[in-house]
């Protein structure tokens, strides 16, 4: 793809430091701006180009790429735009991606990419006033933005149908209230549900492992938002829309987000979006944290836990690791007072440590004002288990022993882990793990030279305690341990892996990236003076 088809927009340069050297860290969000208008039936479709740009302006801390759409009309332009969008998506390099339209047709490639990645476990939640379930034969208008979802299901213009069409059971219509007769017949026959509240939405998505969120802004009620080409009465309120998206993000991994069909016409509509888009984006981009963090806490259990005002307070005597003795705050927007938190740890003669998600800016600012120092910036990486298995399948890697009886490998743990509290970790933490766990180790001359602890939990497996003896680094030991752990995780039914790594651990980042891990979210610790 030539440079004249994709344009990167500038992003703020005051971003956190990079985990790889001293270069600025790239944002963990990629915005792909596709100002496509050719698929719309609206008489004012030309406004979609400005709408895509204005939506992008509402998401400042992002790696922003603008797709230069074709200038002509017709199907060839749509196909060309789809190819260019695909190239832009490939630049995302695993980061959470938001696609901004333009008309709904810009969603073809992002959703197809999510389907290739997640397979049948992907659900697509289609927030829209319309079903977009027409075919070229059934469409009253002939406009492609009314055929997008049907095309994703394999019945649309041949040049736009994806190589892996969705199945009707992967679709949930949200806020849809204007279906053509042929669309209604198809939706009923195919069993595609229509919902308009958070609880029904969660039930309709069911056991999907990930969701793609499509948001056509005409899903909003025109009484409050009219900057769309086809306003339709009785839409969702902004609060209801945000509640539904937030419910999804708290329950499922959000595989991508698309926001489309903004035709700016009124200043008050831009003001509404200014207050709405950012929390929607924040909810979607932090969805994995809501999935992974409870599993991580269960996989590395604290001896004592208490809850105070939404805070989770963890304490493990004689263990000095931050994750065993730190407070986990409630979600952003909740109460940020920490008096009970400070009292809890000081009563136990422990420093007050708070694990702060990078998305929790208000809390971080509060702790900074109180003199809490910032330490240990950490990224959480995730990977698909099958990809790690494939990336580590080499005959040249050392043989690995994998033991599910965690009382036996503690000697290896003691030999390789150099923390001051190593002697107590076995009794205080590892012995208390209740989820299925496996300990992978590599030995040479009777001594452990590599290890990793893997803990499975409901479709995910965490990776902990990765260590390689300095004498055998760059000899494939870490890769072999990860491969053994991934194969064990697959046998437990875990199709996703996660791990935590401090951002300045360059060697670990290289290893994890090489086998398929990508950043999902980040946190750091704040420690009281």
Predicted pLDDT of residue 405: 84
Buried b (16+ CB within 10 A) or exposed e, 437-463: bbbbbbbeeeebbbbbbbbbbebbbbb
Mean per-residue pLDDT over the chain, rounded: 88
Buried b (16+ CB within 10 A) or exposed e, 464-490: bbbbbbeeeeebbbbbbbbbbbbbbbb
Nearest residue to 399 (alpha-carbon basis) of 442, 451, 449, 439: 442
Query: What are the chain's domains?
Result: 3-285 (3.40.800.10), 293-375 (no CATH), 380-523 (3.40.630.30)
In the chain, pLDDT over 90 holds for what percent of residues?
Answer: 67
More confident residue, 94 or 329: 329
The answer to whether residue 359 scores a pLDDT higher than 90 is: no
Helix axes 108-118, 75-90, angle to 10 degrees: 50
User: What is the DSSP secondary-structure string of 117-170?
Assistant: HHGGGEEEEEESSB-----TTT-SS--GGGTHHHHHTT-S-TTTS-SS---GGG
Please state, in angstroms and rounded to a whole number, the distance separating the CA atoms of residues 109 and 83.
Answer: 8
Q: What is the pLDDT of residues 297-353, one digit of tens each?
A: 999 999 999 988 889 999 999 888 899 999 999 866 555 578 889 999 999 999 999
Grade residue 9 by pLDDT with cuts at 50, 70 and 90.
very low
Please state, in angstroms and rounded to a whole number, the distance separating the CA atoms of residues 407 and 448.
Answer: 15
User: What is the DSSP secondary-structure string of 76-132?
Assistant: HHHHHHHHHHHHHHHTTTTSEEEEEESSGGGGHHHHHHHHHHHGGGEEEEEESSB--
The answer to whether residue 372 scores a pLDDT higher than 60 is: yes
In the chain, pLDDT over 70 holds for what percent of residues?
Answer: 91
Range picked from 19-28, 331-340, 498-507 for highest mean pLDDT? 498-507
Determine the straight-line distance between the first and last CA of the chain, rounded to whole angstroms.
52
Phi and psi torsions of 305, nearest 5°: -135, 145
Q: What is the pLDDT of residues 223-239, one digit of tens each?
A: 999 999 999 999 999 99
Strand order, beta sheet including 447-457: 304-308, 311-315, 327-328, 353-357, 518-527, 373-384, 496-502, 460-468, 447-457, 437-444, 401-403
More confident residue, 290 or 179: 179
Range picked from 59-68, 285-294, 330-339, 491-500 for highest mean pLDDT? 491-500
Predicted pLDDT of residue 12: 32
Q: What is the pLDDT of residues 98-111, one digit of tens each?
A: 999 999 999 999 99
* Look-up of token digits 């735009």: 81
Range picked from 84-93, 227-236, 339-348, 442-451 for highest mean pLDDT? 227-236
At residue 228, the 3 state secondary structure works out as: coil
Grade residue 497 by pLDDT with cuts at 50, 70 and 90.
very high
Pairing of strands 6-9, 29-34: unpaired
The dihedral through the CA atoms of 388, 391, 395, 397 has a sign that is negative
Least confident of 20-29, 41-50, 146-155, 433-442: 20-29
The answer to whether residue 171 scores a pLDDT higher than 60 is: yes
Predicted pLDDT of residue 424: 77
Kind and range of the H or E element at 430? Answer: none
Q: Burial level of 61, CB count in 10 A (0-12/13-18/19+)?
A: middle
Grade residue 426 by pLDDT with cuts at 50, 70 and 90.
confident
Q: Could you tell me which residues come within 8 angstroms of residue 320 by beta carbon, excluding any fewer than 6 positions away?
A: 419, 420, 421
Predicted pLDDT of residue 22: 30
Predicted pLDDT of residue 1: 33
Least confident of 56-65, 407-416, 449-458: 407-416
> Average of pLDDT values for 67-76?
85
Q: What is the pLDDT of residues 174-208, one digit of tens each?
A: 999 999 999 999 999 999 999 999 999 999 998 78
Please state, in angstroms and rounded to a whole number, the distance separating the CA atoms of residues 41 and 31.
Answer: 25
Rg (CA), the chain: 25
Please state, in angstroms and rounded to a whole number, the distance separating the CA atoms of residues 6 and 84.
Answer: 8
The answer to whether residue 10 scores a pLDDT higher than 50 is: no
The answer to whether residue 4 scores a pLDDT higher than 50 is: no
Nearest residue to 136 (alpha-carbon basis) of 115, 160, 113: 160
Grade residue 430 by pLDDT with cuts at 50, 70 and 90.
confident
Predicted pLDDT of residue 31: 95
The answer to whether residue 245 scores a pLDDT higher than 70 is: yes
At residue 522, the 3 state secondary structure works out as: strand
Q: Which tokens sit at 173?
A: 């219509």
């Amino acid at each position: 793809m030539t440079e004249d088809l994709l344009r990167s927009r500038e992003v703020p340069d005051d971003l956190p430091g990079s985990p790889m050297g001293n270069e600025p860290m790239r944002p963990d969000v990629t915005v792909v701006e596709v100002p496509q208008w050719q698929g719309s039936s609206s008489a004012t479709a030309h406004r979609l180009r400005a709408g895509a740009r204005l939506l992008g302006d509402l998401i400042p801390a992002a790696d922003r790429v603008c797709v230069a759409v074709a200038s002509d009309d017709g199907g060839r332009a749509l196909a060309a735009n789809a190819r260019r969008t695909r190239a832009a998506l490939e630049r995302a390099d695993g980061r959470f991606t938001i696609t901004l339209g333009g008309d709904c047709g810009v969603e073809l490639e992002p959703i197809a990419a999510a389907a290739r990645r997640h397979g049948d476990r992907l659900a697509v939640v289609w927030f829209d006033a319309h079903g977009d379930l027409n075919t070229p034969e059934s469409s009253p208008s002939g406009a492609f933005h009314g055929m997008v979802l049907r095309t994703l299901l394999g019945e649309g213009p041949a040049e736009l149908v994806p190589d892996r069409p969705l199945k009707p059971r992967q679709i949930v219509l949200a806020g849809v209230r204007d279906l053509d007769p042929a669309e209604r017949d198809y939706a009923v026959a195919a069993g595609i549900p229509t919902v308009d509240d958070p609880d029904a939405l969660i039930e309709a998505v069911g056991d999907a492992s990930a969701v793609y969120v499509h948001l056509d802004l005409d899903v909003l009620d025109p009484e409050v938002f009219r900057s769309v080409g086809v306003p339709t009465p009785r839409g969702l309120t902004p609060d209801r829309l945000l509640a539904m998206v937030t419910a999804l993000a708290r329950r499922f991994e959000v595989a991508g987000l698309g926001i489309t069909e903004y035709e700016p016409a009124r200043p008050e509509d831009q003001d509404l979006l200014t207050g709405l888009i950012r929390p929607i984006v924040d909810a979607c981009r932090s969805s994995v944290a809501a999935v992974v963090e409870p599993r991580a806490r269960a996989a590395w259990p604290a001896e004592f836990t208490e809850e105070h005002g939404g805070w989770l307070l963890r304490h493990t005597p004689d263990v000095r690791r931050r994750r065993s003795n730190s407070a986990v705050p409630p979600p952003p927007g909740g109460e940020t007072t920490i008096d009970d938190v400070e009292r809890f740890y000081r009563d136990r003669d422990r420093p007050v440590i708070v694990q702060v998600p990078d998305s929790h800016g208000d809390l971080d600012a509060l702790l900074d004002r109180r003199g809490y120092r910032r330490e240990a910036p950490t990224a959480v990486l995730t990977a698909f288990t099958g990809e790690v298995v494939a990336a580590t399948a080499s005959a040249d890697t050392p043989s690995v022993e994998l033991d599910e009886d965690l009382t036996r490998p503690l000697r290896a743990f003691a030999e390789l882990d150099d923390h001051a509290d190593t002697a107590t970790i076995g009794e205080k933490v590892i012995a208390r793990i209740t989820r299925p766990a496996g300990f992978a180790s590599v030995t040479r001359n009777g001594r452990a030279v590599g290890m990793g602890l893997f803990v499975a939990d409901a479709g995910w497996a965490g990776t902990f305690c990765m260590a390689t003896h300095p004498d055998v680094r760059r000899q494939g030991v870490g890769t072999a341990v990860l491969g053994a752990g991934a194969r064990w995780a697959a046998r437990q039914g875990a199709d996703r892996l996660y791990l935590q790594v401090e951002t300045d651990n360059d060697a670990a980042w290289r290893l994890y990236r090489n086998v398929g891990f990508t950043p999902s979210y980040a946190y750091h610790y704040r420690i009281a003076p």
